[in-house]
Structure 1
Amino acid sequence: MKNYLCQFIPPRADFLATMSADEQQWMAAHGAFLNDLMAQGLIVAHGPVLDPAGAYGVSLYRIADDQDIDALTARDPLVRNGVGHYVHHPMLHLASRA
């Protein structure tokens, strides 16, 4: 298994407060996408980080050795619509309660 902390970097620091109508729809689809991956067991946890310098998203992935983290996160509706990008941080180990 491979583990990653994936950081979603929005296109601007005030993104959550200034989303357009399209961005709001893509954000809802983004949440549904992550929840679906969590239901499949690929994501352990996800959520927004309210950093005073600018909010961003975090998700913890636990994926099979033959899965590609870039390919998974490229399917995110926000990324597909050109709104932000991911930074992938490989983890040596990921312990969780579940």
Structure 2
Amino acid sequence: MKYYLCKFVPPRADFLSTMSADEQEWMKQHGLYLNDLLKKGLIVAHGPVIDETGGYGVSLYQISNDQDVAELTSQDPIVKNGVGHYEHYTMLHLKTRT
């Protein structure tokens, strides 16, 4: 297994308060996409982070060795529509509550 902390970086610091109608729709699709990965067991947790310099999203991935985290995050609807990007941080392991 491989483990990653993935940070979704929006296109601007005030993104959450200034989203266009299209961006709002893509964010809904983004949430559905991450929830689907959660159901499939590829994500352990995900959610928004409120930061005084601008919010961002965090997701924790637990994927098999043959899967590519960059490929998974590139399929996120918000990324596919050119709004923001992901940063990927490799984790040595991930311990979760059972």
| TM bin (shorter chain) | over 0.9
User: 1:97 — aligned with what?
Assistant: 97
User: 1:10 — aligned with what?
Assistant: 10
CA distance in 1, matches of 2:61, 2:97: 14
CA distance in 2, matches of 1:64, 1:51: 31
CA distance in 1, matches of 2:70, 2:51: 24
TM-score, length of structure 2 as denominator length = 0.99
User: 1:26 — aligned with what?
Assistant: 26
Deviation at 1:36, TM superposition (A): 0.1
Between the two proteins, what is the percent identity of the paired residues? 67
Deviation at 1:21, TM superposition (A): 0.1
CA distance in 1, matches of 2:53, 2:79: 21
Shift >2 Å, 4+ stretches: none
What runs of 5+ residues in structure 1 fail to find an aligned partner?
Answer: none
User: 1:58 — aligned with what?
Assistant: 58
Which amino acid in the other structure matches residue 68 of structure 1?
A: D
TM-score, length of structure 1 as denominator length = 0.99
Which amino acid in the other structure matches residue 10 of structure 1?
A: P
Query: What is the count of residue pairs matched by the alignment?
Result: 98
SS of equivalent to 1:96: coil
CA distance in 1, matches of 2:56, 2:49: 5
User: What is the RMSD of the two structures over their aligned residues, measured on CA atoms?
Assistant: 0.5
Deviation at 1:96, TM superposition (A): 0.5
What runs of 5+ residues in structure 2 fail to find an aligned partner?
Answer: none
CA distance in 1, matches of 2:74, 2:41: 18
